[in-house]
Structure 1
Amino acid sequence: RRAGFLRPEASIAAHLRRAAELGAELRFEEPADAWEADERGVRVRTARGSYEAERLVIAPGAWAPQLLDLELPLQVLRQVLVWFDPEGGTEPFLPDRFPIYIWETPRATFYGFPHQEGPPGGVKVALHGGGEPCTPETIDRNVRPDDIEELRAVIGERIPALRGPVLHAQTCMYTMTPDEHFVLGMHPHRPNVVVASPCSGHGFKFASVVGEILADLAETGATRHPIGLFDPTRFA
């Protein structure tokens, strides 16, 4: 009764809308190429120009290995998400009957959600962990037959009705740390830079509190939240 899920697109839109209301200037389709920092401030270079400020919060997602400027053992992995049309129909998978879950089995770990989007939407499932190493530039965005069969074989052992036809499939990326915890904190060599990789496949649900932590660090260099577990220097 206490479980739930977030709709990522709606959540991101809400965060962006609120940020704009509070005075943030939003920029899109503008890749960041590099940044530098010294005692005078920070400078970020993008495809459209450069920007200067007193402090920088850098949260580059799957681009973290290139842009964080730290010797972190990060690995980016290709992941596949699939929406199946359940055998026997979607009624048993409606939210009032079917839970959000993550299932660890000897073969693999997979997770999924109830049916949400009406008959065309299907039931979303995916493997958690594993996947091919990649970068944002090299990831294979095509979903291959072997991707589907691997997931269908794993989930079919536990939820046979989800071996039905595929309605939709797509890829995403996990940015993994060896201990599968986040990276959050001040840059160890740049006191005016905050680094963030709230990652390893379970970061989005913590977006609000991570944002609060990053704002604290950018403003004061400290936060009331216990973030020692996520120290960027822990792998040194």
Structure 2
Amino acid sequence: MKKYALYISIIVGFTLVSCKKEAIDKPKVIYEDATKSKRVALVDTSQIEVADLPITMEGTNFLIHPIGVISGKSKGFKSYSDSEQSFAVSNYGEYEITGYLKNLKFQEIGTDSIYTLTDKQVMIETATYLKTVADKSKLQLIVYSLADMDTNKDDKLDGNDIKSLYISTISGKKFTKLSTDFQEVIDWKIIETNNILYFRTIEDTNKNGAFDADDQLQYYFVNLVDKDWKVNSYRPI
């Protein structure tokens, strides 16, 4: 029994070491030829682009069509969100669309015209309608968390790349990046009393390709009433 326990311990230890080594071997940022990190990801021909049925946020006049991909390999289809056969590419909670989306398309209610949020390659994880801001100031805005660069240079955009922060109007227009290239967004929040969006990022200051305790946090805010959405830095500590 003791030999068996020892054997299991060795296997577990080896697995943990292997996982740790794999994490080190796969940094989130590769700085060699850093300017080439904005190259487009390779197109996976086994993927099929589909749209979910449209979503409308309460009190708005636009339909939002989530666009994602499903795999056409082997029998049937498989989505990123479900191991079983599925054609769904997104989920909708309270004023927030989530998923691994290639794009969003917008359509004003009562019109036939549908247009895309962006013509760039992105992987959108969340699109959050700022309902409280709309109620207070009549500003109808969406904040996005997404990957927009192949920072680890594996020729694809996914959760292993740096997460960035964007904003647009409810119509999908004025799609604007708020965070800085090569800084990972940690979190963000809205202060309703003055319509300020605050967010934090982490910068890989030691340039080891990973985000860790040796790196530096950066703090920013944006006045949402400002039509140019100027990003300001501040130092609370």
Which category of TM-score, normalised to the shorter sequence, fits these structures?
under 0.3
Instruction: Using structure 1 for the length normalisation, give the TM-score.
Output: 0.25
Q: TM-score, normalised by structure 2?
A: 0.25
More strand by share: 2
Structure with the larger helix share: 1
